[in-house]
Amino acid sequence: MAYYTLKDKAFNSIPFLRKAWVDLVEAYLIEANWYHKGYKPSLEEYINNAWITVGGIPVLSHLFFRLTNSIHEEAAESVHKYHDIVRASCTITRLADDMGTSLAEVERGDVPKSVQCYMNENNASEEEARKHVRSLIEQTWKTMNKEMIDPPFSTCFVEVCANLARMAQLIYQKESDGFGMQHSYVNKQLRRLLFEPYE
């Protein structure tokens, strides 16, 4: 990938791509430490790490270099200083994922997710925690929409960031795991879209 970016666009993307992957692995290590120590992070502490562990940073980084025709150092730096558009996209993806998969993941032995972090921190019910996480998703969309007005990136890349967040909300829209469950409603929707005639 970096070779083609250098060849086609005369831009060395290796330092930027390396940073994306290193940040992801470091964030995974933080979660592993929490798990092994039995540590329950605050919601803020969790989100500050979890928006990276959702894996959007490497995906968006690779897409930035493939989709952007004329790469400027300033735009590349904005991606890797995690411009609000990039961060918001990953945060929405993480929170939507948590709404759909948190119970199953905690039962499997994963670290507490945003719902559980809010419950632990505020002695709240699961329903109250889910309501709060939904409001965080809404606030993050507002931030993202504001930043999309005058971004340092190409329109194509901004749309990719928005579509990542939209896709996550589609997959986890019924607050269930539309990705990991074999017979989920997402599979049914895709089957209807691709294989069944429109009536």
Determine the Cα–Cα distance for residues 118 and 113; give it in Å rounded to an integer.
9
DSSP state of 63: H
Token pair, residue 55, equals 């894996």
133 neighbors 117 (Cβ within 8 angstroms): no
The confidence score (pLDDT) of residue 134 equals: 95
Q: Tens place of pLDDT for every residue, the chain, 199 residues?
A: 766 776 676 777 888 889 999 999 999 999 999 999 999 999 999 999 999 999 999 999 989 888 877 777 777 777 778 889 999 999 999 999 998 886 666 677 778 899 999 999 999 999 999 999 999 999 999 999 999 999 888 899 999 999 999 998 888 876 555 555 555 666 677 677 778 766 6
Token pair, residue 110, equals 């994963």
The confidence score (pLDDT) of residue 199 equals: 63
The confidence score (pLDDT) of residue 79 equals: 76
Q: Where are the domains of the chain?
A: 2-195
Residue 10 Cα to chain centre, angstroms = 29
Report the candidate in 91, 80, 86, 16 with the shortest Cα–Cα distance to residue 53. 91
The confidence score (pLDDT) of residue 198 equals: 67
The confidence score (pLDDT) of residue 69 equals: 73
CATH of domain 2-195: 1.10.600.10
Fill in the amino acid letter for 31.
E
Q: What angle do CA 160, 73, 146 make, to 5 degrees?
A: 45
The confidence score (pLDDT) of residue 56 equals: 95
143 neighbors 89 (Cβ within 8 angstroms): no
